[in-house]
Amino acid sequence: MKKNKKFIFIIIGILLVVCVAIVAVVLLSKKDDSYRIIKVYEYEGDGIVNRESIGDIEPYNNMVLESGDNIKLNTGLMTLKLDDDKYVYVEEKTEFSLEATGTTEDSKTSINLKSGAITNEIQNKLNDESSYEINTPNSTMAVRGTTYRVEIYEDDKGTTYTRVSVFEGKVTTKLKYADGTVEEKEVGVDAGKEVIIYEDDTTTDYLGDVTDIDYSTLPDEVLLIVGDVLDMDESMTDEEIVRNFKGPFTVTFIYNGGVFGTQTVNKGECAQIPILMPAPSGGWDFDFTTPITEDIEIEWK
């Protein structure tokens, strides 16, 4: 009888240990799912993080951010990392506030861009319970998973512009009026396209239709991000990646298998027909009204 009781106690003890282990695993798993990592991933320069409960804080690498923080970068570089799969690349003279709530399973991220420009990279598509939004003075935009840049600038008349350039995925944009109301109609911007929104003293509207991105006007550091998104040749140097987007390009004229001459042409401009001709008959096998967008060779035939 005593042996039976001892055996029962042993079984009960084992069951208790197993139950405790299961509960611990569940709690740890839940903790992992609910914990959002929001931090300054990389920083170098002159910037400030303003936190309502503390005031101004000097940013530093791996600094943990809180929802409600206001971030300002005057000079240098800064990259934020959210949830291990979202990155915000901050350009100089940029200010924005950050609101990040929920868990990794139902994350809600909202960035209120006040000035300057940021590039957002969302590596994994968001689920239906999560959201990622950028708000500017005259627009709001939402994504599920993409890489895009948002810039705010003003002209000499005080008109505010928002430029949205999409490098991967798709961004939906809506107009936001001076009284805070948001237009219900959406305008989608696909990869390789951009849209510009303006706001003057009388109205807020799209400057024109969605157009191709003018890469020549983007900062070099942004083009390096785009090059990575587009999986450009890893052997290319940073300078080669930038030149691929901006130019200038080399036009090489070939005659009888050799180089007859070269021209340096800015991106989007046209090559000029050489004044000298390599032979009395024949011609260059090329339409010289075609804009140059890459290094090319033109043969005499």
- Looking at the chain, the whole-number percentage of residues with pLDDT higher than 70 is 88
- Averaged pLDDT for residues 129-134: 94
Cα 43 from chain centroid (whole Å): 17
Q: Are 194 and 211 in contact (CB under 8 A)?
A: yes
Q: With cut-offs at 50, 70 and 90, classify the pLDDT of residue 35.
A: low
In the predicted structure, residue 288 carries a pLDDT above the cut 80:
yes
Give the residue with greater pLDDT, 251 vs 23: 251
pLDDT-derived band at 29, boundaries 50, 70, 90: very low
Q: Could you give the CA distance from residue 130 to residue 101 in angstroms, rounded to a whole number?
A: 10
Q: What is the pLDDT of residue 2?
A: 47
23 confidence band (pLDDT: 50, 70, 90) = very low
Q: How does pLDDT run across 164-197, given as a tens digit for each residue?
A: 999 999 999 999 999 999 999 999 999 999 999 9
Q: What is the model's pLDDT at position 145?
A: 87
| High-pLDDT (> 90) share of the chain, % | 82
Comparing 99 with 27, which gets the higher pLDDT? 99
The answer, yes or no, to whether residue 18 has pLDDT greater than 90, is: no
Instruction: Give mean pLDDT, residues 105-116.
Output: 95
Residue 19 has pLDDT above 50, yes or no: no
Mean pLDDT of 200-225: 94
Calculate helix-pair angle for 220-229, 238-246, nearest 10 degrees.
Answer: 100
H-type helices in the chain, by residue range? 2-34, 220-229, 238-246
- Residue of 22 and 261 predicted with greater confidence: 261
What confidence category does residue 4 fall into, taking pLDDT thresholds of 50, 70 and 90?
A: low
The whole model's pTM is what? 0.80
pLDDT at residue 72 in the model: 98
Angstrom CA distances, 214 to 34, 56, 77, 290, stand at 40, 37, 23, 17
Task: Output the pLDDT for position 105.
Answer: 86
The whole-chain average pLDDT of the chain stands at 90
